[in-house]
Structure formats: C-alpha cells, structure tokens
Amino acid sequence: MRSIRSFQYNLSFSIQIGQLREKLDIDMAQCSGELDSDAVQDAEARSVYNESYRPLASATAAKPYWDKIASFRSTLQRAGDSDQVVMQRLTTNEAAFADLNEDTARTKMPRLQAPMVGSLTPASVIMRVITG
C-alpha cells in the first residue's frame, strides 16, 4: 500500500514517458530522412557514373535499417495507444486513487469470521489437508 505513488506522481511519470516517446519518434524520423537522402545521393551518383559506380546500392544496404525504424515506430505507436488507455483510467479513477490509503483499505477490507471456518480447529484443518 505504501509503495503506491500519488496520482500526481503517476500522471507526471506518464507525461514524461510520452515526451520521451515523442523524442524517439523525432529521432527515428531523422534517421529515416538521412537514409532517404543517402539513397537519393546514391541514385544520382549511379546515374552520373553508370557502370563505373560499383558499391552496393544504398537503398539495398539500408533496407534492414528502414525495416527496423518502421518496426520501432510501430512499437512506439502501440505504446502511445496503451499509454492513452492508462491515462484515461488514471483520470477516470482519480478520486478513488486519491482515497487509496491504509485507513480506507482497512475499513473496506472484508474480515474473516470464525463461523467461516466452522467448528474445526486450525490443527484439524491442517491434518485434513495433510491426510487428504
């Protein structure tokens, strides 16, 4: 119970995660742009030098990176969608979350009553469990 942080802490943490995800998306867009630019320059060099330009085509060499970037951006998008669900739940349950403390939990927690156990003593219950 004591390890649960406040609503404001969780809200702040979720916002920071969102900002980090946005920064990563910007970085991935920049990487993709650089790969695209390199592919254009490579295509231009190939058109100028024709057969004498022999390096592996940049578009071919960069394909695994484009695939990784696309996969990572897709993962970031799914994480963003998931975070929106968490944020919605946090804001929907803000009042209940604020009331979450030891005293309210103690008053709302069901209590075991002796009749629930029946006339058996703890020792007889253990013996039944052991003997089957």
Cβ 39 vs Cβ 62: under 8 Å: yes
Cβ burial, residue 62 (10 Å; 0-12/13-18/19+): buried
Cβ count near 58 (within 10 Å): 19
In this predicted structure, what is the pLDDT of residue 111? 66
Q: What angle do CA 46, 48, 49 make, to 5 degrees?
A: 65
Q: Specify the residue for token string 């703890």.
A: 122
User: pTM for this structure?
Assistant: 0.60
Cβ 17 vs Cβ 83: under 8 Å: yes
Residues of the chain with pLDDT under 50: 1-3
CA-based nearest residue to 4, from 79, 93, 123, 66: 93
Q: Taking the domains of the chain in order of start, what are their residue ranges?
A: 7-110
pLDDT one-digit tens code per residue, 84-111: 898 888 788 877 776 777 777 777 777 6
Q: Name the region of 118 (left: φ>0; alpha: ψ -120 to 50; beta: rest).
A: left
Instruction: Please report how the helices 7-49 and 58-92 are oriented relative to each other, as an axis angle in degrees rounded to 10.
Output: 160
In this predicted structure, what is the pLDDT of residue 15? 87
- For 83, the token pair is 């975070």
In this predicted structure, what is the pLDDT of residue 104? 75
In this predicted structure, what is the pLDDT of residue 132? 65
